Chains A and B, each alone.
Chain A
Amino acid sequence: MRARRLRGLRPRLVVAFGLVATAAATTTGTLTFREARTGVLQQSQDAVIRQLRTQVSQRAPELGFPPDRSALQRLASDVAATEGQGHWRVLVTFRKLSAPSVPGDRFEELTPAVREAVGSSRATVFQRVRRDGRTSLVVGMSVTFGAPDGRHLASGVQVFLVVPQTTEQAYVDALVTAVERALVPALVLAVALALLAARGVLLPVRALRHATRSIAEGRLDTRLAVNGSDELADLSHTFNETAAALEASVTELREMEARARRFAADVSHELRTPLAAMSAVTDVLDEDAARLAPDTATAVRLISEETVKLARLVDDLMEMSRFDAGAAVLHLDEIDLAESVRRTLATRGWSDSVQTDLPAPDALRGRVDPRRLDVVVANLVGNALRHGTRPVRVRLHARDAAGAGRLAVIEVRDSGPGIPDAVLPHVFERFYKSDSARARSEGSGLGLSITAENVRMHGGTVRAANHPAGGAVFTVELPLRRDDLSQENPT
């Protein structure tokens, strides 16, 4: 996540803008600096050399030949004195004699290379020397005589000048600082611009991401605001069109499904009244059947039996419709779960045909809808008795699930061949028949679907599997405490 963030659009833009700004500022600064430095130094250097040459030309003739030490000393002092602020240090040499303008000055800036160059050339020699962090200009020249034939003869007198270039250095330093200072705002500006540009791109991208996620979470009415007419706006527009199309088709599908469900609900509803009349008289039919002619009796019994089944089917359909409509309500009550299971079996006369493994009385209490739990257990056990092989075993225990708190686990296992793998994923589907050729079963075909819905209402899970030792196992897990979802019974 972190690595992805660093490779994101925003850091990339910032880095790119920063690099461009740094490169531009550095290049401009470097070029400017070099030109300016050259100009500044050249100018000051030329001025110094010109002044020195003028002074030496003026004062050299006063020098006797061969000059003595004091004459050299005087020349040095005089030349040095021409520069008002006393920055000049002058050294005059003649063969072995040397005289500094300031007594005791050792002229360490003066390199042998300069001395040699001055000795061998009549041109003015200069060198910039950096010593102890200070830059000095060293100028050296030979004093020549102008011979009558126009030639210049070396007198052997050499004049060296050392001028500290602090002012120039400060000038140059100021330039460097200026460039450096310019770089920082340029960089800040670049980053700011980069962030702004990134924002311009990222905001729509982020909006798009949120919108996509929102759609994925099922909020199909999500739309983006389309601003401007750039590529991102085009994308947003396309997104909106796609979302609208998706919403339309999903809405249509839902409406179709809702219509189908409403139809099922309406049909069951309409069947109730005639069924109520028919159900009321089945007992009369059963009672009198014995006294009727055999054929009539058979017909009457058939009608009676099928009426009961039809009533049960309509009952299940109504229940299913209520689940679909979200109209099913939990009436929670805290009960002893083992007692509930025992009673479910006893009411239906299954106590002898089912082996039970139940906790002690009151050892496992939970808030459930007792009537729905009864339906769950009855459907699973009924299913096992009908489709599996006896013995059928019912086991109830509790376990602690990570993050889900304490769960009640109800296992219903038969001893038959189990459920074919191809059938397993479909056992909770409505009207699913594992064998399409098989005759109508005793149940409505909705029993396991209703079981699954009832378990789901409790926030639990139900699954079907085959036991390694044979037989199908249905496992229901119900959370024991659901205070947040509990619907209080009126007290």
Chain B
Amino acid sequence: MPRVLLIEDDRAVREGVTLALRRQRHDVVAAGTGEEGMDRLRSFRPDIVVLDLMLPGMTGFEVCRGIRAVDQTLPIIMATARGDEVDIVVGLEAGADDYVVKPVQARVLDARIRAVLRRAGGTSAGTALPKIDTYGDLAVDRAGLTVTLNGVPIPLAPSERRLLLTLSASPGQVFSRQQLLEAVWEHDYHGDARLVDACVKRLRTKLDEPPRAPRYIHTVRGFGYRFAAR
């Protein structure tokens, strides 16, 4: 049973979402503030965090960064109010894996949670790929789902790891943002491409890519992204 930490300040929304997620067979703990959420993080050890961005006191971004400071790999889904365009980008850059726009129906949220958790679990089942692929300083263990740079393990959030695995599975092939949205996030074709861009940005930072001349993940203007095996 997935353990979900819900951080949401509005009582009605918190109760409604908690009730609905429990119905979808999630183990839910709800927190009304960011501070309470951070406390619960340690005691509850959730599999995933659903985080409202508009919080009194400690904001959603601060909570997001706070979680990332202690855990680089815990999946985070932001819940944003419709129309807060800037928030989405800021939240994604703060390390969120995905987002939903409120009001959201329980089954949509459930689907997102499960998709993110699938990312955290592993790639497509029955993989016959070799265990470790090496690209320069980068080593990707497709079975163990670990990534090392110069032998040092890099902690990746589920979306980042899935994105890297997807891109590096076909070096040289150009993936459009829409393809990546479908393959990594399980969104539909017309999903928000900013998810991809923000994730690439975070991944490049973690891979210690030079800002002007990335070694591994190349931007192909007008088309998308490509992994270069070098």
Contacts and interface: CB of A to CB of B under 8 A. Distances in A.
B20 A490 contact: no
Instruction: Give the most central of A272, A274, A367: most B CB within 10 Å.
Output: A272
Contacts of A287: 23
A279 B197 contact: no
A370 B190 contact: yes
A276 B102 contact: yes
B184 to A, nearest CB: 16
Instruction: Give the most central of A274, A367, A370: most B CB within 10 Å.
Output: A370
Contacts of A322: 83
Nearest to B204: A491
B194 A489 contact: yes
A334 interface: yes
Given A335-B178, A343-B190, A374-B190, A280 B219 contact: no
A277 B15 contact: yes
Interface residues of A, number: 43
Contacts of A321: 83
B102 A272 contact: yes
A430 interface: no
Contact of B20 (A272, A280, A333, A367): A280
Interface stretch (B56-64, B103-111, B116-124): B103-111
A480 to B, nearest CB: 12
Nearest to B101: A315
Interface string A45-78: 0000000000000000000000000000000000
A280 B82 contact: no
B103 A279 contact: yes
Contacts of A339: 178, 189
B77 to A, nearest CB: 14
Contact of A283 (B15, B107, B193, B197): B107
B192 interface: yes
Instruction: Give the most central of B12, B23, B189: most A CB within 10 Å.
Output: B189
Interface in B175-199: 176-178, 188-194, 197-198
A311 interface: yes
B104 A279 contact: yes
Contact of A275 (B85, B103, B200, B222): B103
A491 B226 CA distance: 12
Interface in A291-319: 308, 311, 314-315, 318-319
B188 A347 contact: yes
B198 A490 contact: yes
Given A284-B106, A371-B190, A276 B197 contact: no
B197 A489 contact: yes
A451 interface: no
B23 A272 contact: no
Contacts of B200: 491
A331 B194 contact: yes
B178 A273 contact: no
A197 interface: no
Contacts of B169: none
Contacts of B219: 491
Interface in A262-277: 269, 272-277
Sorted from nearest, which 4 A-B pairs have the closest CB atoms? A280-B16, A279-B103, A277-B12, A374-B190
Interface of A: 269, 272-284, 287, 308, 311, 314-315, 318-319, 321-322, 327, 329, 331, 333-335, 339-340, 343-344, 347, 365, 367, 370-371, 373-374, 489-491
Interface of B: 10, 12-13, 15-17, 19-20, 23, 81-83, 85, 102-107, 109, 176-178, 188-194, 197-198, 200-201, 219, 221-223
5 contacts: A279-B102, A279-B104, A280-B104, A280-B105, A284-B20
